[in-house]
Amino acid sequence: MRSKMLQIKLPDGSIKEYPEGTSPREVAAGIGKRLAEAAVAAVANGAIVDLDRPIEHGESNGDPVELRLLTSRDREALDVLRHSTAHIMARAIMRLFPGVRLAFGPTTANGYYYDVEVDGRSISEDDFPAIETEMARITKDAEPFERFMLPVDQARTFVADLGQTLKVEHIDDELHKYGILSFYRQGEFVDLCRGPHIPHAGKVGAFKLLSIAGSYWKGQTDRSMLQRIYGTAFFDKKELDAYLAQVEEARKRDHRKLGKELNLFTISPLVGPGLILWMPKGAIIRGILENFMKTELMKRGYFPVYTPHIGKIELYKTSGHYPYYKDSQFPTLKMPADASAKELLDGLIAGNVDDAAQRVLLGKAGIPERLPDPASETKFTKPFFEMSVAERIGYLEQTCEFEEYLLKPMNCPHHIQIYAAQPRSYRDLPLRLAEFGTVYRYEQSGELSGMTRVRGFTQDDAHLFCTHEQVRGEFRATMELTQFVLSSLGLSDYRVRLSKHDPEDPKYKGAEGDVWRNAEDDIRSVLDEMKLPYDEAAGEAAFYGPKADFIVRDCIGRQWQLGTVQLDYVLPERFGLEYVGADNHPHRPVMIHRAPFGSMERFMGILIEHFAGAFPLWLAPEQVRVLPISDKAADYAQKVLNKLTEAGFRASLDHRPEKIGAKIRDAQLEKIPVMFVVGAKEAENESVAYRDRLAGDLGVMPLSQALARIQTETDERVFHQTATAAAPPPTEESGEQHAY
């Protein structure tokens, strides 16, 4: 009987027929021997699969299967390689530490990790050389990754027999619903895994173990503590070397280290983790950035507003922020609505209010001294003054009307209330409201990281209220503003991501209608009109609308999400916002949310690392330092300092009795952009020896010329990049992949 034939569509558009069950490797071999040797995996109808996995009709729904073969040049292939290297690392660890229990081993944006549990001892970085040696043996043997399937009951028994109790628990908790589970075998090593994997371990060109950290099983603090071993892998050693050079450069630029050395910010355990204290030098930089933005916004027709740090919980329930972000918000502040009831409750808790005062406060608050007993139609509760203090507090909590407040997680609901405070006409629109507003999120302590992951942060937030006809023009203007801000700060290497909703995600309930599609089309139209290259990402939208995110690449190749512009048809509907149109009828406005900096804290952390702490002249907290060669030039040095400060420059005078070489060295270490060195000759000629932190000695010039030079460089916002490490090819901001 003739076997079924399968149609396969190749990237060049050609369609060829193959017997059902043909593998991507066989397709590659039919195209050419060199392609078959270079292939690592394949993409069949959008899903990455093993090179030897049979292609079935079921994957095509009757249409041709779209097949793309992956080689080391493809970004997707690198994820497959790294996931396979995670298995190789786990295998090496199990050889060296018998009895290891495996958890998860996914890929990350720049590598992979595996969570393991070891009895009796901890793995440390001292063990890395031995683990890497064992990994090298495994890659040299080039054994294949072999996939096999088991029904879930057999799979559970199988992993139980292997002593992999965490895998058993994972099957019981989540995987039992799948019916059949996949495994991968490589030599004596077998792991529960959905794949895909490279054909054999010999495809791994280079790898490196990077670090180790603690982690909780499934991220839950009440479950087992595991060890997470991080590593990375590449097809080629040159790529690994470039990446490690980048990591080393990033370590030197770590904003937590430089922030402390340069006195830019601090975090106090008494204030609380994740709450940034801006020190004077850091506050100067922040102030410059804020003034730069405020000046630009005034030119573009924005109005400044200020809003409180808290709001009633009903505000955030209406907006939707409370239910969507409840787990990442601080607990609510709950207090009696009546001032007398609050005074009474506070007095009972503090123990400083007597019965007479309590009786007065009860009367003022309108609270009866006893209530009908809910368990009986004829009885009453115990009289208030026969209760213990704890019972009285409980009684008040039962009888008082309470108000709940929340540390604000977002500024937009507050700005919406400003819009709604008065009637609006179409002639008032667009209305652009801007605020440097501080918001609060309760990030888990293990996720906090210097200034880039905090619990309190200030957004350069603005919300635009406009008509439907104005949407595309206003959206484009906010995109152009973000481009201007980034380029003004030397961050001109970026890509744009159109972040869309995911129909499968309950977060976007109701988002599948025309409103969301229209919003995504509006953004797409603006990006096309601006000729901005962009990629689209499902599931990255805000719960209230799609957005355009700026993914910025810094001077050593790392990528950061910074500015964002969001289009929102949802919140105006939730709050019932209106304006009176030209037809004299009410209409619903559209909102645009935008924040070019994003978070001032995160942006500052990224800037510190981008400039390695050496801020350009216009942004530096101290722009110029005057360095007298000796006491003979002290009076002239003071005169030069006065000229600088009168001209509005941030300058200081180093009058220490040190040699000029030591003064220059210290100024270099403190990353002062410009030094004016003065001696007797300079004093006589009203000149300075101009020294640039990067370019070095630029010679003696008249003081007026030196002042004009720094004024021009400040006005033009000149940048001098100081990157030294070569960057590997950019990586996507991907999350964990390839893990059961």
Q: Tell me, what DSSP letter sits at residue 729?
A: S
Tell me if residue 463 is catalytic. Answer: yes
User: What CA–CA distance (Å, rounded) separates 164 from 402?
Assistant: 51
Which among 195, 190, 187 has a CA at the least distance from the CA of 51? Answer: 195
State residue 456 phi and psi, 5-degree precision.
Answer: -135, 125
Tell me if residue 461 is catalytic. Answer: yes
Which among 393, 391, 406, 382 has a CA at the least distance from the CA of 341? Answer: 393
Which among 233, 238, 261 has a CA at the least distance from the CA of 114? Answer: 233
Q: Which DSSP helix (H) or strand (E) runs through 550?
A: strand 547-553
User: What CA–CA distance (Å, rounded) separates 542 from 545?
Assistant: 5
Tell me if residue 326 is catalytic. Answer: no
Dihedral sign computed on CA atoms, order 569, 573, 574, 576: positive
User: What CA–CA distance (Å, rounded) separates 56 from 31?
Assistant: 20
Going by their DSSP bridges, the two strands 651-653 and 674-678 should be labelled as: unpaired
User: What CA–CA distance (Å, rounded) separates 723 from 727?
Assistant: 10
Dihedral sign computed on CA atoms, order 592, 598, 599, 604: negative
Catalytic: which of 193, 400, 412, 555? Answer: 412
Give the type of residue at 693.
R
Q: Is residue 67 classed as helix, strand or coil in its secondary structure?
A: strand
Which among 475, 502, 696 has a CA at the least distance from the CA of 590? Answer: 475
Block residue for tokens 């997470």: 228
Catalytic: which of 441, 453, 476, 655? Answer: 441
State residue 608 phi and psi, 5-degree precision.
Answer: -55, -45
Residues in the chain: 740
User: What CA–CA distance (Å, rounded) separates 262 from 189?
Assistant: 50
Tell me if residue 555 is catalytic. Answer: no
Catalytic: which of 164, 227, 329, 459? Answer: 459
Exposure string for 494-507, b = 16+ CB within 10 A, e = fewer:
bebbbbbbeeeeee
Tell me if residue 398 is catalytic. Answer: no
User: What CA–CA distance (Å, rounded) separates 735 from 459?
Assistant: 25
Q: How is residue 708 written in tokens?
A: 């004009």
Packed helices 600-610 and 280-299: angle between N→C axes, nearest 10 degrees: 110
Which among 323, 336, 325 has a CA at the least distance from the CA of 365? Answer: 336
Tell me if residue 334 is catalytic. Answer: no
State residue 163 phi and psi, 5-degree precision.
Answer: 80, 15
Put residue 272 in one of left, alpha, beta given phi > 0 → left and psi -120 to 50 → alpha: left
User: What CA–CA distance (Å, rounded) separates 373 from 369?
Assistant: 13
Please, what is the Cα angle at 310 between 305 and 312, to 5 degrees? Answer: 110
DSSP assignment of 18-41 equals EETT--HHHHHHHH-HHHHHH--E
Which among 440, 405, 419 has a CA at the least distance from the CA of 599? Answer: 440
Catalytic: which of 170, 197, 593, 663? Answer: 593
Contact 610, 555 (CB under 8 A): yes
Give the type of residue at 602.
R
Dihedral sign computed on CA atoms, order 659, 664, 665, 669: positive
414 C-beta neighbours (distance < 10 Å), count: 23
Contact 12, 27 (CB under 8 A): no
Tell me if residue 191 is catalytic. Answer: no
Q: Which DSSP helix (H) or strand (E) runs through 417?
A: helix 412-419
State residue 513 phi and psi, 5-degree precision.
Answer: -80, -175
Catalytic: which of 147, 432, 547, 691? Answer: 547
Catalytic: which of 91, 147, 463, 558? Answer: 463
Omega before residue 374 within 30° of 0, cis: no
Q: Which residues are catalytic?
A: 412, 441, 459, 461, 463, 547, 593
